[in-house]
Structure 1
Amino acid sequence: MNTLLNSLRNNLDLTNMFAQVQQTRLQFTRIHALTEAWHWLLLVFICALLVAYVVWMYRRDAIELRKSTAFTLILLRVAALVGILFFYLNLERLTEETIVKNSRVHVLVDTSQSMGLRDDSDQTQVNRIAHVVQELAEGETIQGLREKHDVLVYRFSEDVRPTEIAAFPRVARESTGQANGLNAEVVANVRKLVQIGLALLAVAILSLLYYLFRARHNQQNETGAWSLLSGVVLAIAAVVVVGVGNLRHPELSFTDTLGITSPDLTQVSTNPDVANPEFDLPDVDWASALSPRGTKTRLGDAIEYLVTKERGGPIAGIVVYTDGRNNSGESLEAAARVARGFQIPLYPIGIGSDKQAKNVRIVDMEAPQRVYPGDNFKITGYIQAFGFENTSVTVELISRPAGIAVDDESQNTVEEQTQWDLGSDGQTRPVEFEINPDDSLEGKRDYIVRIQPPKDDNNPRDNQKSGTVEIVTRRNRVLLIAGGPTREYRFLRNLLYRDREIQVDVFL
């Protein structure tokens, strides 16, 4: 069983869902409006036309200027056009926050009566459900799954829907800041870009100062005049480099990029779906919550309900603890087919032995709901046995007033007792009791069909079945009013006369 659980945890790890992710990026929003090819051709043609016009105009008007000055003026005008183009393309900073819900693992535990059986091959000599209780209470299954997923535990038996017992949130983990792209290497690269930009800016300032204080006054020094052009080019390059460094990671402050302050790269995850380490986990009495009381095993219904509930959601898988096959409700094949269609994996964990344990049980009981004093009625119990072929047992019918405590046997009355031969393994045989209630009895009474099992019966929980019978002393009175002996009147009158629980009075 431990090997299966370890394999289960490893497989479910593959479907781990990550915590909250926040990402900031830059985008030209106008580009999304340029959906046709001619849109781009027109934009490129207009930009090329404007650049050509600017160059032509400045070359014509700057004939008398020095080449360095002319090139500087052309560069400034082209830079202005590029700025207009940026404004037109509408550069925006977008922050996207992706919140991924924690994946969930559903654990289904079979609580039918067969889980209360004790297998002869089990050296621990405990029943089947005790192994599941011990694993959930003391084992590492839930804690191991909580490292990656939210865990929800259900029980199922004869009900169409499984019953939720407890929910365990995922264990909180610390994020290293890498969810938004920040780490020490990224910060170092940004600082290098900013340092390069500042170095270019310093050289540009020196070039411009040289031009202002020396080269500008020397009209004959053409080489020194180029300092104006180099200063402008370097200043523009410096602004672009520093801007790129800041825009790539706008969550960094300017002092962080300069190295004056250091950003906090370790932050605890703020995802509300990740459990706080101090969160109070539910205190579950597993032995009581998983008591095997169900008379049926609706495994297919339980799986189909969870698949329908979780389809499209972040479900990692369904774990099933059970000792047998689906014997009621939706077929297991159909439920597995639905789960496969939604790509929800199933992880069955078998409990117990492949050999049928020795057991005698009352499968069902039939009794009327209402009777009258003095009227005979029948109560039928259906007995099934495994491992006790050709064995005789004592079957008794007990009556008691309804509503008293289950463990109070002071008012029990043994109505009848009989010896009954058990059939072959798995065969269900009916045993009938005929009851004639006393005229003094009235009200509700519980009737219990009970077996005195052999010593090696493995499950004493299923050795009896009970039903409530109401003994009524008054009949319902009906006044039938009609305008004449019509066909409908005669039909209804005869129908009511034949019902012994009804007293009919007629007014025509």
Structure 2
Amino acid sequence: MTIFAPLSLSALAPLAQAVQSGPTPSGATLESLTATEWNPPRTPLGWSLLLGVGAALLAWTVWLYVRDTRRLPRILRAGLLALRIGVLVCLAVVALDPRERTQTTAVRPSRVAVLIDTSQSMQLPADPAGADAEETRAEAVARTLADSSLIQELRRRHQVQLFRFDSDAELIAELPQGEALDAAVPDVSAPLRGGEAAAALGRLEPDGRETRLGEAVADALRQVRGPTLAGAVILSDGGQNAGAGADAAVGRAARDGVPLYPVGVGGTERPADVRVTDLSAPTDVRFAPERERQDPFEVRAFLAAEGLAGQTATVALTRAPAESDPATTPGETLETRTLALPADGESAEVTFEREPTEAGRFRYTVTITPPPATREARADDNARSAVVRARSRPTSVLLIAGGPNRDYRFLQTALARQATAEVDVLLQSIDPAELPGVTQDGDVLLAEFPKNFPLRPPGEARPESSPDRYDVVLALDADWSRIPAEGVDNLTRWVDRQRGGFVFAAGDVYTPQLTDEALYGPVRNLLPVRLAARSLVEASDESTRPWQPELTDAAAASGVLDLDPERPGDVSAWAAFEGFYRAFPTRGAKDLASVLMLHGDPRTTGDGATVLIADQRYGGGRVYYLGTSEFWRLRSQGPELFERFWTNLIRAAAEGRATEGDEPALFLIDRPETPVGEPVRIAVGLRDARGEPVEAGTVTVTVEGPDGFPAPGSPLTLRPVPGRPGRFEAPFTPPRAGRFTLTLDGDDVGMAADVTATITARLPELELATVRQDVPTLTALAEGGTGRYLSLAEAAETLPGLIESRERTVTVEESVRALWDVRWMLFLIVGLFGFEWLVRKLSRLA
């Protein structure tokens, strides 16, 4: 049984001699308390024994000294008794064990984690149906943190640890308990005071591309776990769109015993919305100033709506210079239409057909205006733009034919009538010596394949605006034995490096020579099909009847087989076509080729079916294969069908060269429109006067952001691409939504003017799909523990009172010093005994 034990420090607080306190770097407050404590009995029995023994010892001592000193004088008797009682008192003090105890304690403050959603969905309106529909969710959070007493009230009882989260969680500030906000974190407190725009919040800017709500909350709890964590406040719209669900956060909170208090941001009702989901337009079109009517092109928009089915909206097409700022130059309205909005989940298509009116680069924008009095969740998706370049220079075509077959005669005549094409003709059946006396439609009649291909031979009748390089080569059953190997190499490099368009039409006269495996390998490599062996070609019998062609699924999407200008993408006109008699036999298409048409002869079906039309990418250019020389038979349905087919084919083949152009420098951007945060490959192609790639160390490009200032990472340093001479690339990641302008200094590349291009960054649909607050997800967070779901409006008033303090006081250091265990106490006891002994000796006592 314990009889003696130390007194508690708190019980002896009045004996404290000194109190010192001060904050530690971790936020805990240190307190140092020094007090004197004794070791008396703890039980009545102990006190009884102590007092009884003490009284008996004292009585015995008094009786003994009274007996032994009765013959001594009174004063001497009292002195000896006092000396002995003094010794007893000293021993009693030693028995009571007086000690000085010094304790250093740390008061660890209660902590609250405040997690702020910084995903891009926080850029959506806080309440589209409210009075201030322009305020974003991030701005509403900033206003609450700055203008309300939420943070201040929480800091009265807790230390506040501030997190940002989207795909992960990051601790960005710690606000000590009770300390002034300005002094605690000057870099964060300033934007918290403003509350006018989320962009001013620095590291709280809503730019996250996805929301991993469950994982981020669990990660934050892991970072700040501990017994003093009183709760976690989550300010979010609940837009969980990636990673583990809310269960991850609930499970972590349950293990740590931490209540979760989700604060919902954003409207709870799904607002009405209209949007342009996609826009399709050609990148390049031809403009011939001398023509009254231009070749039309289409701008096709796809529209969607929510909550407005059957109501009427207005769709407008506008045009503005491509280099202009959409914010300040909306452009000229070309056409306006009204349409009934589709039901939720469905889409509507609107097609505008336009003709170019002048040369240049123009931005065509389709804008949808919702019905009157409609409050939308977001308005930035109501318009989409595409840049179309109208080129005034005609397409330069090199027409090569082994002989004057019917396809050649009809095609050469049709091209000669087109103002949008300049045609040079190489008819290989003409003797070069007789060439001066030959009359032939075409700009230039050639005697041989151009020696400096792809440069066009000089022609006296050509205007200065004529292109100096070929855009398309049409080879109609050409005699490849009369084209030198150097010319074939130039043709291959032109398709690969300069994005040339090559159309190969097979025939019965000269194409069989290409089946010789020992010869013409470079030509066969260009083709998207594998030609049959010579034995199969010679064994194939002439058909006695036409076979209707079979169109594949890729036919309509290609645009080449559209024969009805009133119905783009409609290839049904081929159903009325009688068909082709003969087709050059093939062993199928190559792996990366796209087959558009097959011969209908049932003897050639299956894996080795004879291909009539196929195409493939070859480097930067495109190659088309025509498996017959009987396309002239289309004229039986009308001459315009034959001309339209070849016009479509030449336009498609020339698309690469139209984009490449003849300039010595050109931007090549894989995605002119990209989601925010997605890297875009910025490429620049450099060529010399002959069109050959230019070797250089690096190329510098400046990037201007939507605000007119240099974008982060500008200037870009583009480096050479291995294996791609004259091409320089570097990645660029748009940090926010808007239009970014790329500029290449013209002086650096030998051009009179700077070379520019634009990139439009849009917010990803993954985040923008969260148009309303996900209350069920946020409620699940709260109900998984002991927390509570709150709206943003009630958070400032209610939340601080819900979170109980978990402040803890712990002893970090303790020292004890025995007060009796000192030298002078020993000297005192020995001195008292010694003086008593001396007096007794002098008094002749035993």
Classify the TM-score, shorter chain.
0.3 to 0.5
Give TM-score, length-normalised by structure 1: 0.45
Larger C-alpha radius of gyration, 1 or 2? 2
Higher-helix-fraction structure: 1
Give TM-score, length-normalised by structure 2: 0.28
